[in-house]
Every structure is written in C-alpha cells, then in structure tokens.
C-alpha cells in the first residue's frame, strides 16, 4: 500500500538542474531499503519556484525540500521516508517571512497567488491521463457535449470576460463567435505554443505540467465552432513539452476523448502537432498558420481575418496555451466564478514568467489587477543586493518598460496600454539601477531585427535603421538630431508595418524615450552612460589613495593595460583597456571604479 508520494519537479528548469537524476537515485535507494511498494515517485510539472530547483515535496506531510542534490537522497530516504524525521537542513527557508516553511503553500511566493491555468502544474503527473481525470479532467468536455449547445459555450465565455492571453487581449468568446458564423466544409482550431519572447516560459510550463487541459479546451473549441481538426504549433526547442503532448494526445485517443464519436456523442475531433523552428514572427497568427501549411512563415494581410479565411483558407481560430488552460475551469465553475477575479475589463488571473533582477525567478499566477509592486516584492522577493527597482519590461520585444513611478500600477490590459506598455504573453523582466535603458531598448530591437521575416519594407529596413541609431547613441557618436530621427522612425514603422511584429517593434524604444529620455540625452550630450553599461562610454580609473600596489589587477588584466611597481599605485592605459571589468572584480580594496 502506498503511504507516501514524493513529488519531483520534471519541468525544464529542474530537469536542467538534475531532477531526472534525483528520480533515478531515489528509485534505487527505495529499492535498497525495500520501500519501493510503499513510496510512489511522481514526476510533476513546474512548481513555480524555479530559482530553488530541483524541488521535492513529500506527501501526506507536504514537506517542501529545495535545491535537492543526488547526494541528499540517501539521507531523505533514511531519515524522512524510513524513520519519519524531516531533514531540516533541506527544508526551504522563506527569507521574506524569516522562517523555515514546511509546505509550499506557506511560502510568501504563493501567498497572493491564485492558480487557475496552473492549477495542476506541480500537482499531477502530466504523463498520466488518469491523474488528470481524477482532477475533474475532461468533465468540462463531457458537460459541453451532453448539456450545452455551441451558442451556450460562446455565451459562457463572453460572460466570463476571458480575453486572449497571448498579448492582444481580444475577447475569446467573440473570436469563437466569429468563426462559428462562417459556414464551410472544414474548420480548424489552432493553438499557439510558439512563445518566442525572451524570458517567457509560461506556455511551456503549462504544456509540461498539464497538457490535457489544452487538449480538452481545444476539443471544446472544435465542438463550438464546428471544427473536426486541431493543430498545436509548438517550437521544437521545447523537447519536454513536445514529448508530453505526444503522450497526452495518444492517451486521449486511446480513451476515446479524441478521434471519432467522442464520448458516444457523434462528435469528431482530433489534434496533431506541428513543430516550429523558432521564428519569432510565427507567433503572429497568420504567419503561424502559413507555417502549419508547410510554407515559409510570413504574415498575410488582414482582412480577411482567420475566422473567415485562416488555415488552408478555411475558418479558423487561434488561441495561446494559457487561454485554453482557463477554459475547462470556466465551463465547470461558471462564468460568474471566473469574472469574480480580476478587474472590470480584465477578468481572471494572469501567469507571469518572472526574470531579471529579482530574488525568486519563476512562474507565478495572480489575479488581474495585482500591482507590479506586489508581484516584485511580495511574490518575487524584491531586488537582490539592496538595489533599487528601476523598471520592468512586459510584453517582450513588443512591449514596453514600466518605470518606478508606476510601481503600484494594477497589472491589467488597459492600464499597461495607457502607459505605452502591454501585457504580452506574460514575460516580466525586472531591472534595477544598474541597467541602462538605452541598452535595454537596443537589446530588444536587435532581437526584432534578427527575427523580422523581411516581407514588408517598414519592418525589414525601418527596424534596422532604428538599431543603427541606437548603436550610434551607445557608442557616443550620436547627435540630438539622431534622437529626433529615431523617434520619427519609430512612429513610421509602427504605422506602416504589415503585421503585429513590425507594428509593435518600436514599443521598447518609445517607452524608454518617454520615461528615460534623460538617459538618452546623457549618452548624446555628455558622452556618458549613467548606469555604467555602455562600454564605449566607460573609463576605468584607479584611485591612487586606495591602491595598495598588490599587482593583482595587473596580473589578471587580459590585455596587460595596467602597470605599476609593487606596493605603488597602479595606472590604467585607457588606449589599451577593453573595459572588460576584470580589474574591478579582482581588486579587494575597492580602488578601481568605472565612470
């Protein structure tokens, strides 16, 4: 009889940290102790606290062990699983609450979270359909097929206020209503699992932790709009997600939940995978559908919109992974339940991938309207090293920066648009005082330039010219006229590009110009980078009073640009200096600074 369940995170982050080896070693130790029939090892999806991985949780106690290594396994088996004594040194310490926590639910990280799309991630084995069914899996599909008409489903989604979580925030029920209105011999349901924003991993984590939720929602969508075929477009760089989707699809077919005559209702619907090669432009709906068709992933002019002529020129809908993950729960619990969360125009919850200058990088899900400050400080644990919050980038290369003056802004679609940013798919990159905002704009724009499909001139040429101006600014070669040209070019590219990638490419530049123009002007007028990031504008100096002449910096310098006698102040040859920063890292006396 099973008396304990050991949950080990099998998401990409923890897998990279060695969670697979933990599972194998744990199985071996349990067999040595004769406990293999009493202890069940469960590989789960992401728990969210990625910075603390690999994570292990033991039930029924709910003890939360973090940063577990293979060497810790024998002690866990001997002490906890055999003798019932918690291994205190491995129990997670919640620094914000200044206490050891014995369960995941007690952590500050989870305190204000409300998991809907992530409800099963870290809870079930994503490769076992029976565990999904035990958590009310496929009950929503059964309800839809036996108790609801397609119009009932659409009205439920409209009443819930669910908006697309891919970035644009278009009402999901409205999109499905449009597609249902068109008559054709074939329609399609598509899922965007491309997720190309730097630092974003929300959709990947849902697919790795709860793939059946997406399959169930897509089947509901097929019934609603009158489609019999679905496609999940997932990037090939997500091998764990792809594997678990393949397993889930086959399991659903074996159980009669995909295929012909689903649940004996006569409804026919199946799902296939299409692997993307990582092109950012294929996150745009028409480019994605073109890629599924086997063609080069380029956007098409709209109208006609996909609801009328989408995949293979047939009526189609496209939603992203997080949007679909909400739908089964809305069907089961009702529109009012979902609408009770969030704000007036942005209902429900939102999943964010927290990254950058923050203590607890990871995956979080909070009600819409939760403030940026709450996400950064209460969930993310604040900025490390005592640094000050400077800005947060949302929406990736298509989004914008939220400066410190808006630290208390409620995070929803309309509030972010009002300050020149956007929700995006959910990437949230936190920056502190050491980040240069001109450099940040250059980073995102260089990404867009590399990812432009080149179909339209404003995006293909315009973004490159914008990047060249930004490079002039960070190199200290720009004039104020260049700054005016940059801003003018931003608005031109925004207004004239063919698809959403080009239309939103200027956003990181425009938002940093709006809130951090003084940094741009410092680069141009003073030839100075206030954050000390842009190498061409830096100079490294040795304070002769603080320098002890230990020669450590001179010995470490890769280009031998530091000279001086032993026990005498040293000097830097600024002509030779490559500004790598090795000297600052080496000096134990704080004698070297960059200006």
Domain membership flag for residue 334: yes
Residue of 453, 517, 437, 456 lying closest to 484 (CA atoms): 517
501, 525, 549: which is the final residue of a domain?
525
pLDDT for 53: 87
Domain membership flag for residue 119: no
Spatial strand order in the sheet of 188-193: 259-262, 267-276, 229-235, 188-193, 316-320
What's the average model confidence in pLDDT over 8-36? 93
What's the average model confidence in pLDDT over 303-316? 95
Domain membership flag for residue 118: no
**Eight-state DSSP code of residue 92:** P
What's the average model confidence in pLDDT over 383-405? 92
pLDDT for 97: 59
CATH number at residue 377: 3.10.20.600
Domain membership flag for residue 285: yes
Whether the Cβ atoms of residue 191 and residue 370 lie closer than 8 Å to each other:
no
Residue 581 pLDDT class (50, 70, 90 cuts)? confident
The total number of structural domains that make up the chain: 5
pLDDT for 100: 67
| Position with higher pLDDT, 108 vs 460 | 460
Quick check: 323 pLDDT over 90?
yes
pLDDT for 271: 98
Is 478 found in the same domain as 416?
Answer: no
Is 290 found in the same domain as 208?
Answer: yes
Residues 6 or more apart in contact with residue 450 via CB below 8 angstroms: none
Quick check: 420 pLDDT over 90?
no
Which residues is 402 bridged to in the sheet?
Answer: 392
**Percent of the chain clearing pLDDT 70 (strictly above):** 98
Domain membership flag for residue 480: yes
Is the CA virtual torsion 401, 407, 413, 419 positive or negative? negative
First vs last C-alpha separation in the chain? 67
pLDDT for 80: 95
Quick check: 202 pLDDT over 80?
yes
CATH number at residue 590: 3.30.70.20
Quick check: 94 pLDDT over 80?
no
Quick check: 146 pLDDT over 90?
yes
At 556-569, the pLDDT tens digits run 999 999 999 999 99
Is 189 found in the same domain as 46?
Answer: no
What's the average model confidence in pLDDT over 421-449? 92
467, 492, 525: which is the final residue of a domain?
525
At 260-271, the pLDDT tens digits run 999 999 999 999
Is 465 found in the same domain as 327?
Answer: no
CA–CA separation, 392 and 382 (whole Å):
12
CATH number at residue 93: 3.40.30.10
Considering just the CA atoms, what is the radius of gyration of the chain in Å? 27
At 465-522, the pLDDT tens digits run 999 999 999 999 999 999 999 999 999 999 999 998 899 999 999 999 999 999 999 9
Phi-psi region of 362 (alpha: psi -120 to 50; beta: other; left: phi over 0): left
Quick check: 143 pLDDT over 90?
yes
Residue 594 tokens read as: 């960059």
Residue 237 tokens read as: 């760089």
At 270-294, the pLDDT tens digits run 999 999 988 888 888 999 999 999 9
Is 357 found in the same domain as 332?
Answer: no
Domain membership flag for residue 310: yes
pLDDT for 545: 92
Is 227 found in the same domain as 258?
Answer: yes
Domain membership flag for residue 530: no
In this prediction the pTM is 0.91
CA–CA separation, 462 and 468 (whole Å):
10
CA–CA separation, 62 and 407 (whole Å):
34
Residue 216 pLDDT class (50, 70, 90 cuts)? very high
pLDDT for 38: 93
Is 273 found in the same domain as 293?
Answer: yes
Strand 349-356 to 427-432 pairing: parallel
Is 181 found in the same domain as 319?
Answer: yes
- Which of the given ranges, 78-82, 217-221, 454-458, has the highest pLDDT on average? 217-221
**Eight-state DSSP code of residue 169:** -
Domain membership flag for residue 73: yes
Quick check: 461 pLDDT over 80?
yes
Domain that holds residue 575: 539-594
At 535-547, the pLDDT tens digits run 888 888 999 999 9
pLDDT for 102: 64
pLDDT for 279: 87
Is 90 found in the same domain as 56?
Answer: yes
Residue 191 tokens read as: 């899922």
In DSSP notation, 385-437 reads: GGPPEEEEEESGGGSEEEEGGGTT-B-SHHHHHHTT---TTSEEEEEETT--H
Whether the Cβ atoms of residue 178 and residue 218 lie closer than 8 Å to each other:
no
pLDDT for 294: 94
pLDDT for 96: 66
Is 95 found in the same domain as 29?
Answer: yes
Mean pLDDT of the chain: 93
């Amino acid at each position: 009889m099973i008396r304990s369940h050991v949950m080990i995170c099998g998401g990409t982050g923890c897998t990279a940290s060695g969670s697979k080896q933990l599972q194998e070693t744990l199985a071996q130790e349990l067999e040595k102790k004769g406990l293999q029939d009493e202890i069940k090892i469960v590989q789960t999806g992401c728990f969210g606290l990625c910075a603390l991985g690999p994570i292990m949780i033991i039930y029924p106690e709910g003890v939360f062990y973090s940063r577990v290594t293979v060497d810790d396994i024998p002690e866990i088996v001997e002490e906890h699983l055999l003798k019932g004594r918690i291994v205190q040194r491995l129990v997670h310490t919640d620094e914000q609450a200044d206490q050891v926590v014995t369960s995941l639910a007690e952590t500050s990280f989870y305190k204000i979270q409300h998991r809907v799309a992530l409800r099963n991630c870290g809870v079930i084995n994503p490769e076992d359909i029976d565990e999904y069914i035990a958590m009310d899996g496929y009950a929503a599909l059964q309800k839809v097929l036996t108790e609801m008409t397609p119009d009932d489903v659409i009205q439920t989604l409209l009443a819930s206020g669910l908006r697309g979580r891919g970035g644009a925030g278009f009402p999901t029920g409205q999109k499905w209503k449009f597609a249902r209105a068109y008559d054709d011999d074939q329609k399609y349901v598509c899922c965007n699992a491309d997720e190309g924003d730097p630092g974003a991993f929300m959709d990947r984590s849902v697919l790795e932790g709860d793939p059946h939720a997406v399959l169930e929602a897509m089947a509901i969508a097929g019934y609603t709009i009158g489609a019999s075929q679905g496609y999940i477009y997932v990037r090939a760089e997500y091998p764990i997600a792809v594997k678990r989707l393949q397993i889930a699809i086959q399991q659903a077919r074996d159980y009669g939940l995909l295929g012909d005559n689903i649940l004996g209702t006569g409804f026919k619907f199946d799902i296939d995978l299409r692997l993307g090669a990582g092109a950012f432009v294929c996150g745009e709906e028409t480019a994605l559908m073109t890629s599924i068709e086997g063609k080069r992933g380029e956007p098409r002019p709209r109208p006609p919109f996909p609801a009328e002529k989408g995949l293979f020129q047939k009526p189609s809908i496209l939603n992203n992974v997080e949007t679909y993950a909400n739908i089964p729960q809305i069907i089961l619990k009702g529109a009012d339940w979902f609408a009770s969360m969030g704000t007036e125009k942005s209902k429900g919850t939102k999943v964010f991938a927290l990254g950058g200058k923050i203590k607890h990088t990871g995956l979080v899900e909070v009600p819409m309207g939760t403030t940026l400050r709450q996400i950064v400080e209460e969930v993310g644990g604040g900025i490390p090293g005592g640094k000050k919050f400077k800005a947060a980038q949302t929406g990736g290369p298509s989004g914008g920066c939220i400066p410190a003056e808006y630290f208390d802004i409620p995070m929803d679609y309309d509030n972010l648009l009002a300050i020149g940013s956007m929700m995006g798919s959910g990437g949230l990159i936190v920056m502190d005082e050491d980040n240069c905002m001109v450099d940040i704009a250059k980073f995102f724009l260089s990404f867009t330039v590399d990812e432009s499909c080149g179909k339209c001139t404003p995006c293909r040429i315009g973004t490159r010219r914008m990047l060249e101006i930004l490079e002039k600014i960070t190199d200290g070669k720009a004039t104020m006229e260049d700054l005016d040209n940059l801003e003018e070019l931003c608005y031109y590219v925004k207004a004239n590009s063919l698809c959403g990638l080009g239309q939103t490419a200027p956003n990181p530049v425009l938002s940093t110009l709006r809130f951090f123009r003084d940094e741009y002007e410092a680069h141009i007028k003073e030839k100075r980078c206030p954050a000390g990031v842009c190498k061409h504008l830096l100079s490294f100096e040795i304070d002769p009073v603080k320098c002890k002449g230990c020669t450590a910096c001179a010995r470490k310098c890769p280009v031998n640009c530091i000279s001086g006698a032993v026990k005498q102040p040293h000097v830097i040859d600024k002509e030779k200096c490559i500004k790598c920063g090795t000297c600052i890292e080496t000096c134990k006396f704080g004698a070297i600074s960059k200006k």
